[in-house]
A and B are shown apart, each in its own frame.
Chain A
Amino acid sequence: QVQLKETGPGLVQPTQTLSITCTVSGFSLTSHYIQWVRQSPGKGLEWMGFIRSGGSTEYNSEFKSRLSISRDTSKNQVFLKMNSLKTEDTGVYYCVRTSFDYWGQGVMVTVSS
């Protein structure tokens, strides 16, 4: 069945870089987009960006200068990297399939020194 699972560091210091991996199963990354969504106390749910089935990307301008999404199709993995973290980046990060139908469980990230 379709599954997505995020893994990440949990705690990141301000100004550092966040790296999260989304591992998928039950479908192919070459047939589906992967979206990234953040849920934070301050801003609720925010769409961050996506990587298309062909590998190109689109980013929300709110994050564009700091955000990078990439993938390794041989490992069924998609990667989110976001630099220059601030305390306001604290939240739960989700990877989501194409039309926002299947969501990962989410990974909680706290940005704090």
Chain B
Amino acid sequence: DIQMTQSPSFLSASVGDRVTINCKASQNINRYLNWYQQELGEAPTLLIYNANSVQTGIPSRFSGSGSGTDFTLTISSLQPEDVATYFCLHHNSWPYTFGAGTKLELK
């Protein structure tokens, strides 16, 4: 199985900060990597699919990059409504696996 190592587990940042979250795959997953935002008690919301494509309706401050084994989610200017937990998911081959999550808080 492909393991997804997500870092950091916790992140505290200020409004306006540039925030980056990383996921590393244990083997090549090409660009088959999605990023999600999950607010407390809600279902995950798709932000980025196939590593760098922004889902319709998602603010432009969210972007994704990477291919192969190393991927990054970037929030260019953190907003208060971005406080949430963020997950990555690989869908290169089954079993698909998720990162453990990054909890993002305001400083």
Scoring A residues 78 to 113 as 1 if CB is less than 8 Å from chain B, else 0, what string do you get? Answer: 000000000000000010000111111110000000
Q: Which residue of B lies closest to A48 (CB)?
A: B95
Q: Any chain B CB within 8 A of the CB of A61?
A: yes
Q: Would B43 and A94 count as touching, CB distance under 8 A?
A: yes
Cβ-neighbour of B46 out of A35, A58, A94, A100 (below 8 A): A100
Q: Which of B34, B43, B45, B49 neighbours the largest number of chain A CB atoms within 10 Å of its CB?
A: B43
In whole angstroms, what is the CA distance A94 to B87 when docked? 15
In whole angstroms, what is the CA distance A58 to B87 when docked? 23
Q: Would A60 and B49 count as touching, CB distance under 8 A?
A: no
Return chain B residues, CB-CB under 8 Å to A45: 44, 87, 89, 98, 101
Scoring A residues 1 to 27 as 1 if CB is less than 8 Å from chain B, else 0, what string do you get? Answer: 000000000000000000000000000
Residues of A in contact (CB 8 Å), total 18
Q: Any chain A CB within 8 A of the CB of B10?
A: no
In whole angstroms, what is the CA distance A6 to B49 when docked? 24
Task: Identify whether the interface residues of A are mostly helix, strand, loop, or mixed.
Answer: loop
Q: Would A100 and B91 count as touching, CB distance under 8 A?
A: yes
Q: Would A58 and B55 count as touching, CB distance under 8 A?
A: no
- Assuming A58-B94, A104-B43, is B49 touching A44 (CB within 8 A)? no
In whole angstroms, what is the CA distance A100 to B36 when docked? 10
Scoring B residues 21 to 54 as 1 if CB is less than 8 Å from chain A, else 0, what string do you get? Answer: 0000000000000100000001111100100000
Distance in angstroms from B73 CB to nearest chain A CB is: 15
Distance in angstroms from A41 CB to nearest chain B CB is: 12
Residues of B within 8 A of A (CB): 34, 42-46, 49, 55, 87, 89, 91, 94-98, 100-101
For the A-B complex with A99-B34, A100-B46 known, give 13 more contacts whose Cβ atoms are closer than 8 Å: A44-B100, A45-B44, A46-B98, A47-B96, A60-B95, A94-B44, A99-B91, A100-B34, A100-B49, A101-B55, A103-B43, A103-B45, A106-B43
Closest 4 CB pairs of A and B: A45-B98, A103-B43, A47-B96, A60-B95
